[in-house]
């Protein structure tokens, strides 16, 4: 009975959240207004320790939206998404995939950096289900403003946020899913490539990552 009650509570919360989105959209109609609202966000505890919010960036009419997990250390310090090592890896893959970088909006499932302090270092910690859920609000408004034709989920956290369920990258990778009026591609987060020590494995997995992005580019060609 308790489990059923928890599911019912979650369903009511989800209905309330979705019902509120159109109302909020009457107030937030631009990316600049969205950034201002995100900067004041206290929907989960992560804002307390982060340096600042890190909103998505790119043109409001971007054809492609790429969603990562959360800001890293450099993103948190600079206030911009994908400006660290993983971002440079992503930029390289975007070029190799033949996607116009000027037509890409980059963002994260969670807008504040979650970390554990170890001496002078801030070690990344994966967002939990509650933090992902509370930040989905902003991601849905982003999608409503940008209206991307193709969305690329970079990693399991992004895929969970977009699909509202736990997913396995291996099971969805290579498929073209639908999310609203957009097509969704699920792939790895570029930080995975940085963790590979073997150069042969890194080259192989980077090539596979580029092919995932090319899959998204082909979807754009079909829509054109």
DSSP letters for 17-68: HHHHHHHHHHH--SHHHHHHHHHT--SSGGGGTSSS----BS-TT-SEEEEE
Residue 10 has pLDDT above 50, yes or no: no
Q: What is d(CA 137, CA 97) in angstroms, rounded to the nearest whole number?
A: 30
**Sorting pLDDT into bands at 50, 70 and 90, what band is 223?**
low
Tell me what pLDDT residue 18 has. Answer: 52
What's residue 7's pLDDT? 41
The topology under which CATH files domain 2-223 is Uracil-DNA Glycosylase, subunit E (3.40.470)
Measured CA to CA, the distance from residue 9 to residue 7 in angstroms comes to: 5
State mean pLDDT over 50-62.
Answer: 96
The predicted-structure confidence for 128-152, as pLDDT tens digits, reads as follows: 999 999 999 999 999 999 999 999 9
Q: Is the pLDDT reported for residue 156 higher than 50?
A: yes
pLDDT of 63 strictly over 50: yes
Is residue 8's pLDDT more than 50?
no
């Amino acid at each position: 009975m308790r489990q059923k009650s928890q599911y019912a509570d979650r369903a009511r919360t989800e209905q309330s959240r979705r019902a509120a989105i159109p109302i909020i959209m009457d107030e937030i109609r631009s990316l600049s207004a969205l950034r201002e609202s995100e900067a004041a966000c206290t929907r989960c505890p992560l804002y307390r320790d982060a340096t600042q919010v890190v909103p998505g960036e790119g043109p409001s009419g971007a054809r492609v939206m790429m969603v990562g997990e959360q800001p890293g250390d450099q993103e948190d310090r600079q206030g911009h998404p994908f400006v660290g090592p993983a971002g440079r890896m992503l930029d390289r893959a975007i070029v190799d995939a033949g996607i116009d970088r000027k037509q890409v909006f980059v963002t994260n499932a969670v807008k504040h950096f979650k970390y554990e302090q170890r001496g002078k270092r801030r070690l990344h910690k994966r967002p939990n289900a509650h933090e992902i859920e509370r930040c989905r609000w902003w991601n849905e408004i982003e999608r409503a403003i940008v209206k991307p034709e193709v969305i690329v989920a970079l990693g399991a956290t992004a895929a969970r946020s977009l699909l509202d369920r736990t997913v396995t990258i291996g099971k969805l990778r290579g498929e073209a899913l639908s999310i609203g009026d957009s097509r969704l591609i699920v792939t790895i987060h570029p930080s995975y490539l940085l963790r590979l020590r073997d150069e042969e494995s890194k080259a192989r997995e980077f090539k596979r990552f580029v092919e995932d992005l090319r899959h998204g580019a082909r979807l754009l060609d079909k829509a054109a």
